[in-house]
Structure 1
Amino acid sequence: LIYLHSRRPCVVHGDLKPMNIIIEPRANGDFFPKLLDFGLSRTVTRHARLNGGTPCYVSPEVVQERDYKPRPMADIFSLGRLLFTVASGRRPLARYKPGEIVQALKGGRVHDLAWMPSADLLEKQRPIIER
């Protein structure tokens, strides 16, 4: 993601979610995450538009703004939702249907993430993930 966002012009992935990441084992025993599925990605240009994304991971402005111009911050929002999934083992906003999430976002509401009561260990990460 840092690589995509550091390019000039910048590239926005547009659909960060667990299904679009593969973990590749390295010869030294480490693991390296790789992004997949660049179908919604856009190079940030004057005429580029970003539309779509997975409702429980998409940033509000992608849904709210009619002619949303891709910006790296949309990916950063999705990364926070992805980190929630990694930290909790749960899909964000799992109690809502995709259409309910989209309607809430269109109405200017962002549902809070449902943290488990036993997530004390994750409290230090919570401000980063929710930002």
Structure 2
Amino acid sequence: VEQRSGGPHPRLLDFGFARRLTRTARPWGGSVRWAAPEVFGRQRREVGGAADVFSYGRLAFFALTRQKPLEGLSERAIGAIVRTSQVPALAWPLSSPLIDRCRSLTEQTLRPDPAMRPAMAEVHVELAAWPECRACSPPGRGP
């Protein structure tokens, strides 16, 4: 969702990472700035939908603040931190009504433990309940 002078507007993005799932498919690609810690961490964890929820949280932070996540750190520095299974806190700018509303949900999606992150369906339900997001729903597809 992008903020314009007339209010929120939905925008669809395609990152080009889609591929066919097979029994031998392995996680790949991406940037440590946007990826969940289990994707690049030393602990061998199964990478599932929770990794996408984490990346959504980082993308939401970027859309809300116009700042790259962990902007002051190099990819190398972020990688060193992530390999210890830590998730550095994001530097949120001064508050605004929209940021205050979204920050709690976004931080839930960025929890270090994948099992503690909400499912994307839960994120959708919460967003759909917000009056600001109802205006973004296609006709007949409201909450």
The answer (yes or no) to whether the contact 1:93–1:113 under 8 Å persists in 2 is yes
Residue in structure 2 matched with residue 119 of structure 1 by the alignment: 95
Superposed CA deviations along residues 57-103 of structure 1, whole A, max 9, x for unmatched, are 11000001576654121111000000001111111100000011111
In structure 2, what is the Cα distance between the partners aligned to 1:48 and 1:32?
32
Residue identity in the other structure for 1:52: G
- Which aligned runs of 4 or more in structure 1 are off by greater than 6 angstroms? none
Say if 2:14 is the partner of 1:41. no
1:36 shift after superposition: 2.3
Specify which of 40, 63, 68 is matched with residue 40 of structure 2. 63
Superposed CA deviations along residues 18-69 of structure 1, whole A, max 9, x for unmatched, are xxxxx9xxxxxx965333242x334444322112311211100000157665
Q: Percent identity?
A: 28
The answer (yes or no) to whether the contact 1:85–1:91 under 8 Å persists in 2 is yes
Residue identity in the other structure for 2:79: V
The answer (yes or no) to whether the contact 1:61–1:74 under 8 Å persists in 2 is yes
Residue in structure 2 matched with residue 26 of structure 1 by the alignment: none
Question: Taking structure 2 as the reference length, what is the TM-score of the superposition?
Answer: 0.60
The answer (yes or no) to whether the contact 1:60–1:105 under 8 Å persists in 2 is yes
In structure 2, what is the Cα distance between the partners aligned to 1:42 and 1:92?
26
Distance 1:67 1:35, change over 3 A: farther
The answer (yes or no) to whether the contact 1:92–1:113 under 8 Å persists in 2 is yes
Query: Higher helix share goes to which structure?
Result: 2
In structure 1, what is the Cα distance between the partners aligned to 2:92 and 2:35?
19
Residue identity in the other structure for 2:70: L
CA RMSD of aligned residues (A): 2.5
The answer (yes or no) to whether the contact 1:49–1:68 under 8 Å persists in 2 is no
In structure 2, what is the Cα distance between the partners aligned to 1:50 and 1:41?
11
**In structure 1, the residue corresponding to 2:90 is in which secondary structure?**
coil
Question: Taking structure 1 as the reference length, what is the TM-score of the superposition?
Answer: 0.65
Distance 1:127 1:43, change over 3 A: farther
User: 5+ unaligned residues in a row in structure 1: which ranges?
Assistant: 1-22, 24-29
Distance 1:69 1:49, change over 3 A: farther
Specify which of 56, 68, 73 is matched with residue 91 of structure 1. 68
